[in-house]
Chains A and B, each alone.
Chain A
Amino acid sequence: MIYQKAILLLSGSITAVFFLTTPSAAQVDLGDYTVSGSIEAGGMPSHRSGNTTKLEEYRDLPETVVVPQLELFIDSKKKDFYLEFDSLKTGRDDQSYRLRAGRYGLLDLEFVWDQIPHLFNVDNARTPYNMNDGRYTLPSKPAGTTGANVRDWVNANAQPVDLKLYNGLARFNVRYTPNPGWTFRGGYGSQNTAGKRAFGAYFGPSPGSYNITELVEPIDYQTHNIELGGEYAGEGWSLGLTYNGSLFHNNTSTLTWDNPLNTTGLGAACVDSATYNQGAGTGPCRGRLDLYPSNQAHTFTLNGTASLPFKTNFIGAFSYGWRLQNDPFLPFTANSAVIQPTISRRNLDGDVRPTMINATLVNNFFRDLGLKAFYRYYDFDNRSKRVLLPDGIIVNDQGTATGDVFLTFPYSYAKQNVGFDASYNVTRWLTAKLGYGWERMHREYARELLNSNEHSFGPTFDIKPTAWTLFRIAYRRSIRDAHDYDAGRNAAVEIDQTPEEVRLSRLEELRKFDQAARDRDRFTFFTQVSPLENLTLHGGFDFTNDRYPRSVIGVQKDIDYAPSIGFIYAPLEWLSVFGDYNWERFDWRLQAIARNTGPGGCPDLELRTAENCPAATWRSRGNDEIHTVKLGSDVQLIKNLLNLRLQYGFSFGSSEVRSSGNSAASGDTGLVPATDYPTIVNRWHEFLARAEYVVHKNVALRLGYYFNSYSSKDAGVDIMRIWMGDIETPAGGPTFSSSIGRSIFLGDRGKGSYQAHIGFLGLKLSF
């Protein structure tokens, strides 16, 4: 608040400076310096209906006086020194400030402060917990353990909580160029993220017996970023070295929360039990979760260029880093009635060494022929310590140790890329290029595929027959193999099982899409044509088709196509109009098999295939379809005096999931049909009308009207309440599953619909 007042005071002072000057002065003379700038201020009346969280998801639109923009320039008359200050949305939650000063060609200093709000849900979510720095307690508990008990209790005791974050970013950068050859850079940035967001947590041993307690995650992050670097550029070569450091600290890295379903008592009077029993109200008194651990990252990068003989240029980079994390491990459980298993270490001693090497050669020796070759190596070398858990783990603060022997394997991978491109200027207006790329991905154990190779190749054409016509066409075909896919590969490095034992619990035909064999076709087309000096037409088409030929189970294919068209037209000197339309459709296909034994006479899991178990094979297909429109117009109603801008934006998106076939899960008496999900739909409109009337050389009157509406249908979210146990059922069925009836949620529906009409009446003063 004090900060906001200071800023408004500064704004007022600058306004006073303006009024001290003569009305016709373009800038203010202060000895050896000139001062110029502008300030805009005005009021924003508004009328809103519905849940406007989405309207202000990343911005602050208050119904009050605002200062949208403030600028100040101090220039030395010798033209050697400068100082610039500008601010946006002064004093508001999304305010930003920038101060830049320096000497031209020698020194540049910049200080930036930026605030980014992020609203998830306001005035909607509720929780019965008292939240205190990562310790969530319940002042009361349900009278019993039935769904009705939980319903009555949570409805009577849940209090509102806003789910939102604020990011505050401060950056200081300096650049020093003592001569055209040397450049030194330094920077420090601080990012503070604070607030609350929703996330899920639960108690219980299995998906059949549980109680969910959706919580509010306490966010209090602090990140410090440092950059230091120097570079020298000589005749035909350059060399630079940069250090980047990032220190992240989570001020609340542990969260404990009371279990509402343990009805033995409140707080310290609660009695822990190793056995989770929903009906009896026994189990853990509380749970304990490890939120994101604090960590550090340090990276050194060396890059250089050199001009070689025969018109060849070498460009290279080498980067080596450390990612460190050594937060102490929490105990396995917060349940005092459970015997803690053993663990071989107190912390992970997390240590990852990412390495990147890139070497590129570009050659233009032959006239009209451009050649490029590059090699890139990226190694994610995870040297974190292996941790032995000889007794297994405790699942959700109840029961006994699982008895498995776990030996964690720090996951590493390495990626190599090689590429060749040859481009030829066939004619003055046609350039054709042929490209080839190879990517080898090597994964350490813990994933199913050890090595994969992907080859890609294709032509590109750039056609520019005249200065006002441009066509760009590119096609790329990629083929990725996955011969060594083995579901049992991560055995014996993470769990005490043989590969054969692991495969018993896996589907032989399953292929995870990011490791599966894949054929990809990618086509892009772009054109820009200006048949008249005042008319430009542009259009494009982006198409990607991924097929997974060896994935009988898993993702079968996905296709994305996105055509776009647009124009900019200025039929008159005082009138211009523009418009854009984009349509995008993303389709995917998935095939899966029910996992539990017995349905439809299917064999055991490891022997089950789509062919021998068609009865339990189901398919799902989805498509996302989005239409986006932008239209606008700039009108000079009175030349140099009255300008009008009109702008309209519209986006309509839908997401469908359709399923077919039969499936079954634990508890089902037989196969049931796979079902469709209701389509998700969201619709967004934005209209902006803005007029500026230049009352005086230094004074402009600004009027604005802004309309924004948003509506959303997402059946999975729209139905949410803090208690979901009475979800509608057909006659004769269970009123709710025992577990859902004993669960509590935040009930947030952040995608609520709204309409907002916002006006603006203000003045812009320039000096």
Chain B
Amino acid sequence: MLILQAERDALLKPLLAVTGIVERRHTLPILSNVLIEKKAGVVSFLATDLEIQITTASPDSLPGEDFRLTTSAKKLQDILRAIPDSTVTLDSQDGGRLVLKAGKSRFNLQTLPADDFPFVAPNGAAESTFSLPQRDLKRLLSQVQFAMAVQDIRYYLNGLLLQTEGDQVRLVSTDGHRLAFAAASHDGDLPKTEVILPRKTILELYKLLQDSDELIQIELLNNQVRFSFGSTVIISKVVDGKFPDYNRVIPLDNDRLFLIERLTFLHALQRAAILANEKFRGVRLVLKNGAMSILCTNSEQEEAEEELEIAYDGGDLEIGFNINYLLDVLTNLPADTLQLAFGDAGRSALFTIPGNSNFKYIVMPMRI
């Protein structure tokens, strides 16, 4: 029985939006599948890994009867990608088979019953709801997501703190060596609430956000967060745990300050990094009044040295860092000029944007 006829891209685009979270190999075979559902002319796609669930709908209304089925997300995606952009038909056949035809191609696929598909059930009413333009959230995420921990034993660091208070939304990430903070205003007036979003959710959300003025609605539910934007809805579990108090690590008395052009600094570091130790990635910054030297040495005793003129008169300081931690922030900040504030060689450095209290990056030194 013919159940669907559509242009390839009308299916492929929404499918790709949900398949990013599908685990290749899962103990529950149905989790490798995508749920395709047609209701009142709208075809929607849904995938989950039981932590995150993403649904998105095809933009066009399509004729034909309602149906629900699940089939391999990976195979369907590979097929739709491989065939030319043309009309695709889906036939539902006896024995739970799904036949996809396009031009002279024909694929006979297995399905699993849609009723067996595990949903992430929405959990309670929203405690806080607010909206902001997708572009703003995408920008905020770009400023902090790189500092999230990866598979840290402190599981609550493998994610991002989302905090709301009044009309402010704050995002904080840290791996214990550096911390990124970004804040923005939104349309709401909210009580102070905070949740930790899993790393995977953040990476997926970042991928799906458009650089547009269209709003994204964020609802903080009990143990869940729901993001709704365009025709996409992401429901994610939150990480149960206590995120460290970021205020405690923001240095207040770093008095060796100077301004520096972001790209000048970035390019000098990128050059020096070529000879940074492959394992420790150390870089030494040597400050003198009026100048900063950037020094890298690798295990073969090769050396790179860069010198930048800076408007600085705070006296001599030599301090080491993991160069990747500096490159990360310089690559991801949308500002032309940065302020750097140092204490001493054993204390954290603070990176800010002049005249903007909505961004902070704190990085601990490395003893080299």
* Chain A bound to chain B: no
Using CB atoms and an 8 Å cutoff, list the residues of chain A in contact with chain B: none
